[in-house]
A and B are shown apart, each in its own frame.
Chain A
């Protein structure tokens, strides 16, 4: 089960199917305003049928009249991400199918969030490293300048320090559910 905290995540997910093809790639940062506005909206991810493979959980051996199963477990696989969920909550297969779809949508969201958060964490790490490297360099440069032995220049990285601060404000921690 998903941690309850995850369900409350203030997030609005794109519902157009095409957006799902980008699941693996990092998703652009959500702005702080949209986070606040969408706070009370439930997850809205709709997974297109064509992205789902449903497995009929046939036990081994014969089926039909020869065996009288009580299991109506449903297993769904989200093809773009390979996420698999199984549901055997109720005695009704069609009910389990609905529940499984819901869980699958949540898992996919979770993955997207995870990716998002990871991307941000990485970006932050990178900019921190860059920033400290920068400091070191600046120190070095100063020393070098002082030594009047200027060699090459270090460009870019200017806005990185600021970006890192921005990131920290709205970084979403990855969910722990599995």
Chain B
């Protein structure tokens, strides 16, 4: 990372002596000022510090923590995901705004549909904080009179605990719409035997069969680990590498798997599951347009979908000029980086308004 210019540091110090420390992770003055303001607000609203001396000391401590690169969301304990303030804890990936944008767009399409069934079942694999099912049910129930059953699955114990705690918090605020059923379950989405694998953790399909009477799901959503080992070192930021769990980012190695294929590792498995649970709509997050194109290729090969589309970071925004980018036959929607792949079949097409 390039060094910060001394003039910038000096300017920051003139505004507030704590600002130069925040410049380290933030890189620009405006963001550093924002974060300082949010840290102050946090201390005023939540922290137990009673008098001004205690508060100042606490602020200094938090600013110092942040200057090491520790994500602000872990320090403040939450991140916003759509309209929701989701609890975050070290050991569980912090929800990203691009993910929220895709979920919002999916719900936006469903909301316009006049032919949704009275009940929809949504499966979210690799659920982390549980942010996806929580946002999905809130945004859809606000506008449609529909009963939802949502299940979030993760291999990490910490993630499942956090997801349940997020659900409990929303329940206490009366948030999850009555009649909707939301639950979280610990299971392994991948189906191979891996080294160092905890055999206590059930495999997804058997867990679904034993715990849920029906194993058909209308909508399958997943933001799985999608960073290859080499990309992990070359393209993730230091704060991500040092503070967020690698389990959430890099798929496990497998014998004979090349770097790129390891990064893609969850997708063939997820497509398999989509077929087995008879999903009519599938939404997978990806790292970039290249991976999106690889995943659309896999989805086409699966041969079960009637439509496939690539979404960018802001799928609701105006389309970018390079929409015709070598996508083969698939439309690319919105603006920003390639961010997700949407597939549908059967009634899914009608629900998404892809059919007249």
Contact = CB atoms under 8 A, between A and B. Distances in A.
Q: Which of A64, A67, A91 has the most CB of B within 10 A?
A: A64
A94 B83 CA distance: 6
A53 B318 contact: yes
B314 interface: yes
5 contacts: A54-B314, A63-B336, A68-B240, A70-B35, A71-B31
Interface string B336-348: 1101000000000
A72 B318 contact: no
B287 A70 contact: no
Contact of B239 (A55, A61, A65, A68): A68
A7 B337 CA distance: 39
B73 A68 contact: yes
Contact of B337 (A53, A58, A72): A58
B231 to A, nearest CB: 8
Interface in A43-76: 53-56, 58, 61-72
A54 B318 CA distance: 8
B38 A66 contact: no
Interface string A88-128: 10011111000000000000000000000000000000000
A64 B223 CA distance: 10
A9 B45 CA distance: 34
Given A56-B101, A66-B227, 13 more contacts: A56-B317, A56-B335, A58-B314, A58-B336, A62-B235, A63-B337, A64-B96, A65-B96, A65-B236, A65-B249, A70-B71, A88-B30, A94-B80
Contact of A64 (B26, B38, B239, B287): B287
A61 B231 CA distance: 13
Contact of A70 (B34, B98, B248, B335): B34
Nearest to A66: B236
B90 interface: no
Contacts of B286: 64
Contact of A92 (B80, B244, B317, B318): B80
B14 to A, nearest CB: 21
A65 B240 contact: yes
Contact of A58 (B83, B223, B313): B313
A70 B96 CA distance: 10
Interface of B: 26, 30-31, 34-35, 38, 71-73, 76, 79-80, 82-83, 85, 93-94, 96-101, 223, 225-227, 231, 235-237, 239-240, 244, 248-249, 285-288, 313-314, 317-318, 335-337, 339
B114 to A, nearest CB: 21
Nearest to B315: A56
B38 A91 contact: yes
A32 B302 CA distance: 71
A54 B97 contact: no
Contacts of A72: 80, 97
A54 B34 contact: no
Contacts of A67: 236-237, 240
A95 B34 CA distance: 15
A91 B84 CA distance: 11
A55 B235 CA distance: 24
Contacts of B339: 63-64
A54 B235 CA distance: 27
Contacts of B26: 70
Contacts of B314: 54, 56, 58
A71 B248 CA distance: 22
B226 A65 contact: yes
B212 to A, nearest CB: 28
A113 B35 CA distance: 35
Contacts of A55: 317, 335
A93 B99 CA distance: 13
A130 to B, nearest CB: 48
Contacts of A91: 38, 76, 79-80
